[in-house]
Structure 1
Amino acid sequence: MSCIKRYECTLSPKLLEKAVKELNEPRDNEKRLQAIDELRNNYDAEKFGPLVREDDEFFLRFLRAKKFNQKKALTVLQNYHNVKKEFKEVFGKVNNPAVLTPIIEKEVMMMLPGVAKNGAAVMLSRHGLIDKDMDIYDFMAYGVFSMEKLLEDEAIQINGIATIKDLENFNMTFFTKISPLALGKMTKVWQEAMPMRYKESHVVNEGTFYDVIMAIVRPFLKKKLLDRIHLHGTNFKGIHEFIDPSILPPYLDGTGPDPDGLAKLWGETLMEDMPQDTAL
């Protein structure tokens, strides 16, 4: 422990207040460090393998995701390590992100400039840009890699994430390649193993095929997550209730930046710290 640099709180007063009130985060840093140490010490390395990271910041994201409930945070932490071992098809690529360069260059995902009305960061994904021949595990790894990047930001750990999924021109052939086993595993990753606060999900241009997708996915989703899904079809103004149009791209009836520029910027963000790995 002596070689580990301890966490020092640099949150703005407003963000700290939100963490204290909404996430039960200790205002006092010594008590925060005690909570981190408790989580670290309770981790079962014999059962779930060695910790992938041991710095305070790593444990803190799990505590925040579960409002400093030690039991729940420990479950997610151990699930996180478990899926890394059990779902090599995805996490082998997350751990070797150079292989994800082609899909990153497709510019499917992007972060909008600003936050939703509830303070959550907003990620827009244009699923119509997914090639029907794309490896499904590449796409899953791309999503996990993006979320890992987002979790580096303490504001996002505290405020959470909102998503907008644009399904215009989405090719159902891609979705049908997902086996029920893989779908179940991936759903478990998002719901039980990622220390992220999912605030809301908006779906646009979903079309009638969305019912087919949901019929397959619904059994794997918890009611809490299902309740946070909002369908908008082509009525983009419905999103404005949740997200100010000033940060939405013009094609979603917003006055924000062009999505292509945002997608390029997000791709550069993902690749800027990418190690020069050898492809698997």
Structure 2
Amino acid sequence: MANKFDIDISPESPELLAIAEKELRETPEIRAKGLAELRELLKKNSDLNFTDDENFLVIILRVCHWYPESAIETLRDIAEFRKDYWKVLKDLMPEQEKTAFIEGGLINILTHKDHKNRRIVIYKCGSDWDPSVISEDSIFRMFYLLHILAQLEKSTQICGCIVIYDFEGLGMKQVMNITPSGTKRLLTFTQKAMPLRLKEVHIVKQPLIFKMVYALMKPLLDQKMKSRLHFHGDDMSKLHQFVPPNYLPKNYGGTLPEIDYSAKDWYFCAEKYHDFFLQYKDFGFKQ
């Protein structure tokens, strides 16, 4: 992969397939059976509008460990989410959030993966966020667009991703713009309607005022998310227990250089996969 600001859409390596078999039950026989059964379930759920293309169905089946019944439930959850939040997601394409990508600098993807071959997403929610420039809705739309992009990467389908929420410099200006409805939307999405393996969520550099934000989140967290949520404050050695420092930039106590790129650099990758976004925007319930 020549461009470091691109996803890797190459076929699965033998090493990746070995991980898929161990962690996801994926074998050629289970794969063939799962695809056939999910296609039949899609026919029975005639109110759903999703492609039955193999590449897309594999995305859904992998996150469900190749259980077709769970996969159709996931597709229904995705459709419900898109119906409930249609005002935010209707006809969403990367160009609609170009300003958030180019000027916001709030969501970033590290150009390398960690020791478990997982993508690392950085979500800066503190003083870097000016709500008068980038709205809460806009941040969510950008997050949603990036999750669509991540689905195309085979290694991410199999190994998953982790998210680091960086609350450095969080103040009342940001807290007053983190709404109960926006928090519910984000957590509903990540817990029910995001077809990716979210392995860990790390909260770092959070000041005392973060307690106000967590008070909004806590009642909405399911047990699975609670088990994957870790709070580190300014102690990066706690983060290093999950991701070794040689896989992290200096910003997070790592040995790699400080981050000198942002979502601006990733925007052109999103543009590159325009056709997948175009297809995805019509997924959900049939009109």
Normalising by the smaller structure, the TM-score range is 0.7 to 0.9
Show the counterpart of 2:285.
none
Please give the per-residue CA displacement for 1:233-263, whole angstroms capped at 9, x wherever unaligned.
1111222222122232212221224323254
Post-superposition Cα deviations, 1:170-203, rounded to whole Å, max 9, x if no partner, equal 3444443454344323322211111111111111
1:209 and 2:209 correspond: yes
Matched residues in 2 for 1:252 and 1:69: separation? 37
Counterpart in 2 of 1:40? Answer: 39
Q: State the alpha-carbon separation in 2 of the partners of residues 100 and 107 from structure 1.
A: 12
Q: Which of 99, 102, 123 is 2:99 aligned to? A: 102
Equivalent position of 2:283 in the other structure: none
The amino acid of 1:205's aligned partner reads K
8 Å contact from structure 2 (residues 117, 155) kept in 1 = no
Separation in 1, partners of 2:255, 2:206: 22
2:254 equivalent to 1:254: yes
Q: In structure 1, what is the equivalent of residue 25 of structure 2? A: 24
Matched, 1:199 2:208: no
Distance 1:220 1:270 in 2: 30
What SS does the aligned partner of 2:82 have? helix
The one-letter amino acid paired with 1:26 is T
How far, CA to CA, are the matches of 1:192 and 1:175 in structure 2? Answer: 25
Q: 1:89 to 1:186 in 2, by over 3 A?
A: farther
Instruction: Quote the residue 2:80 is aligned against.
Output: 82
Once the two structures are superposed, what CA deviation does each residue of 1:206-255 show, in whole Å capped at 9, x if it has no partner?
Answer: 11122211111111111111121111111112222221222322122212
Q: In the alignment, is residue 141 of structure 1 matched against residue 141 of structure 2? A: yes
Alignment partner, residue 121 of structure 2: 123
Write the distance in 2 (CA, Å) between the matches of 1:256 and 1:89. 40
What TM-score do the two structures reach when normalised by structure 2?
A: 0.83
Q: Secondary structure at the match of 1:200?
A: strand
Aligned to 1:180: 180
Deviation per CA, 1:110-144, whole angstroms, max 9, x where unpaired? 22233333332211222232212232211111111
Aligned match of 1:151? 151
More relative contact order, 1 or 2 (CA 8 Å, 6+ apart)? 2
1:60-75 → structure 2 map (5 Å cutoff): 60-75=58-73
Q: Is the 8 A contact 2:101 2:263 kept in 1?
A: no
TM-score by length of 1: 0.85
Mapped partners of 2:117, 2:149: distance in 1? 18
- 1:11 aligned onto 2:8: no
Worse-matched range after superposition: 73-82 or 262-271:
262-271
Aligned 8 A contact 2:24 2:62 in 1: yes
Unaligned 5+ runs, structure 1 = 1-8
Equivalent position amino acid for 1:21 in 2 = K
Separation in 2 of the partners of 1:183 and 1:109? 16
Alpha-carbon separation, structure 2, partners of 1:39 and 1:207: 46
Structure 2: which amino acid aligns with 1:85?
A: K
Decide whether aligned partners of structure 1 residues 227 and 142 sit closer, same or farther in structure 2, where only a CA change above 3 A counts.
same
Residues 39 and 73, structure 1, Cα contact 8 Å, conserved in 2: yes
In the aligned structure 2, how far is the partner of 1:178 from the partner of 1:89?
A: 18
Match of 2:245 in 1: 245
Find the counterpart in structure 1 of residue 6 from structure 2.
none
**1:54 aligns to what SS in structure 2?**
coil
CA RMSD of aligned residues (A): 2.4
Code of the aligned partner of 1:36: L
Q: Which amino acid aligns with 1:42?
A: L
User: Secondary structure of 1:114's match?
Assistant: coil
